[in-house]
Amino acid sequence: EIVMTQSPATLSVSPGERATLSCRASQTASSYLAWYQQKPGQAPRLLIYGASTRATDIPARFSGSGSGTEFTLTISSLQSEDFAVYYCQQYNQWPLTFGQGTKVEIK
C-alpha cells in the first residue's frame, strides 16, 4: 500500500501569514491526491483533488501542487476559520490511504 507521510505534525502560524503543508507518498500517487480540512466534531471537508483542483466553494487562498511523491497544500493568508487539521489522501491505487494529519494552530 502507499504510505502517506505529512509534515510537520503541527504548524503554528499567525493570522494573515502563509502556511505550507507537505505530504509525501511512499510510491507514486501520480496526481491522484486530495486534501481535506477537519475541525473538531465535524466531518472532513474536501479542499483539493487531482493535486491542484479546488473543490466546490473552496476559497482561492487554498492551493495545491505537486505530483508523483511530493505534494504541497498552501494557504496564502490564514483566516481564523482555517485553523484545523489537514489530511492528504492518495487515490492512485487501492487501498486508499490518508496521511496522519497536520494541525494548523494559532501562533
Partner 1 sequence: EVQLVESGGGLVQPGGSLRLSCDASGFTFNSYEMNWVRQAPGKGLEWVSYISIRATSIYYADSVKGRFTMSRDNAKNSVYLQMNGLRIEDTAVYYCVRDPTHFQHWGQGTLVTVSS
- In the complex with partner 1, which residue's Cβ is closer, 75 or 88? 88
| AA letter at 7 | S
Minimum distance from residue 78 beta carbon to partner 1 (Å): 22
Give dist(CA 96, CA 80) in Å, integer. Answer: 31
Minimum distance from residue 91 beta carbon to partner 1 (Å): 4
Residues near partner 1 (CB under 8 A): 1, 32, 34, 36, 38, 43-44, 46, 49, 55-56, 87, 89, 91, 94-101
- In the complex with partner 1, which residue's Cβ is closer, 27 or 77? 27
Question: Do you find a cis peptide bond into 95, omega within 30 degrees of 0?
Answer: yes
Minimum distance from residue 34 beta carbon to partner 1 (Å): 4
- In the complex with partner 1, which residue's Cβ is closer, 10 or 77? 10
Which triple of cell numbers denotes residue 26? 511512499
DSSP 55: P
**Which of 91, 103, 100 lies closest to 1, judged by CA?**
91
